[in-house]
DNA sequence: ACAATATATGAATACTTGTTCATATGTTCA
DNA sequence: TGAACATATGAACAAGTATTCATATATTGT
């Protein structure tokens, strides 16, 4: 009558099977969760974060970004490719110079909320 | 008179030094950018994303989470430690069972925005 | 005190990832 | 056409990370 018969050994079975099944119902599809992790993975690198913050302010060419961040042109170019594939930045070519700019409206507010989190956390 | 004297060779110097210096002024401190990357890194893994989505719905013990996600108790325990260190989850002990729950208000809305981004992106 | 069990953790391993180095591509200017 | 230059890219390497395995810790019930 109480919460019996769910209980077996852990490792294999759940302790509260009712809770587990209820939660399972609400889980988004695996594929969406995977995409979401992929999306956030892009923000999990200081170089890419710095590039995006720079682009908040102004469109910039590869060379300028490299100079600003004190990094090699190659390193920046590789990271811009990651950002491009994630559709976070777009680019336009002017002669041999390529200007990158933001291609997403959510980034800033996502960053702001992250910023808020770490600020609150660090004052505890 | 035009945009001269900024221009030297890339790799070493910037093409638009004025732009670079203007952007440099607005960059948040390195330490903050680093923390931000650390913060998002936590979301860059499917297992942790899945754990957090589960906890959106209900507090859960380690064993139930492992069962729900079809993973080992050890793997879940390791990941919960990461989430704990990031102050994203908290826990309470009841006997030998440890219940984890969310410890942050921003997570859901950050996830929602990420979700929105990938949805928009995938319909282009 | 002892067996059973829920969780935590250190070490090892396989995999991923960021940067560098060398080089390729494509554009401009003489 | 050729030299200079901005950017892109593949391969290699180093550093980081997620999971497993074995085991430790702590709690419960007998």
Residue A115's Cβ-count burial label (10 Å; 0-12, 13-18, 19+) is middle
pLDDT band at B124 (very low <50, low <70, confident <90, very high): low
φ and ψ of B106, to 5 deg? -85, -25
Q: Is A40 in contact with B37 (Cβ distance < 8 A)?
A: no
Same-domain pairing of B102 and B55: yes
Alpha-carbon distance of B12 to B15, in angstroms, equals 10
CATH assignment of the domain containing B114: 1.10.10.10
Same-domain pairing of B32 and B12: yes
Report helix, strand or coil for B94.
strand
A70 beta carbon < 7 A from strand C?
A: no
Residue A102: is its pLDDT beyond 60? yes
Residue range A31-70, pLDDT digits in tens: 999 999 999 999 999 999 999 999 999 999 999 999 999 9
Same-domain pairing of A33 and A82: no
Residue range B40-93, pLDDT digits in tens: 999 999 999 999 999 999 999 999 999 999 999 999 999 999 999 999 999 999
For residue A57, list chain B residues with Cβ-Cβ distance below 8 A.
Answer: 22-23, 26
Same-domain pairing of A50 and A87: yes
Residue range B19-38, pLDDT digits in tens: 999 999 999 999 999 999 99
For residue B53, list chain A residues with Cβ-Cβ distance below 8 A.
Answer: 26-28, 33
Q: Is A58 in contact with B113 (Cβ distance < 8 A)?
A: no
Same-domain pairing of B123 and B73: yes
Token representation of residue A95: 């002669």
Please give the average per-residue pLDDT across A83-110, as a whole number. Answer: 94
| Predicted pLDDT at A12 | 58
Same-domain pairing of B23 and B51: no
| Predicted pLDDT at A53 | 98
A81 beta carbon < 7 A from strand D?
A: yes
Report helix, strand or coil for B9.
coil
Q: What is the number of domains present in chain A? A: 2
Please give the average per-residue pLDDT across B105-114, as a whole number. Answer: 91
B91 beta carbon < 7 A from strand C?
A: yes
The chain-wide mean pLDDT, for chain A, equals: 89
Q: Is B43 in contact with A40 (Cβ distance < 8 A)?
A: yes
Same-domain pairing of B39 and B55: no
Q: Is B114 in contact with A73 (Cβ distance < 8 A)?
A: no
Same-domain pairing of B35 and B59: no
Alpha-carbon distance of A76 to A72, in angstroms, equals 6
User: Do residues B118 and A40 lie in contact, with contact meaning Cβ atoms separated by under 8 Å?
Assistant: no
φ and ψ of B99, to 5 deg? -100, 130
Same-domain pairing of B80 and B99: yes
| Predicted pLDDT at B1 | 31
> Which ipTM value was assigned to this complex?
0.90
Same-domain pairing of A54 and A98: yes
Residue range A59-92, pLDDT digits in tens: 999 999 999 999 999 999 999 999 999 999 999 9
A75 beta carbon < 7 A from strand D?
A: no
Same-domain pairing of B120 and B108: yes
CA B84 to chain centre: 13
| Predicted pLDDT at A6 | 44
Residue A36: which domain range? Answer: 1-42
Same-domain pairing of B27 and B78: no
């Amino acid at each position: 009558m109480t919460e019996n018969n769910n209980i077996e050994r852990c490792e294999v079975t759940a302790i509260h099977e009712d809770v587990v099944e209820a939660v399972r119902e609400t889980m988004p599809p695996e594929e969406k969760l995977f995409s979401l992790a992929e999306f956030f993975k892009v923000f999990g690198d200081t170089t890419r974060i710095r590039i995006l913050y720079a682009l908040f302010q102004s469109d910039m060419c590869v060379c300028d970004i490299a100079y600003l961040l004190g990094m090699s042109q190659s390193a920046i170019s590789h990271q811009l490719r990651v950002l491009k594939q994630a559709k976070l930045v777009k680019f336009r070519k002017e002669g041999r110079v390529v200007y990158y700019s933001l291609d997403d409206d959510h980034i800033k507010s996502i960053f702001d909320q992250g910023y808020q989190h770490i600020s609150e956390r660090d004052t505890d």
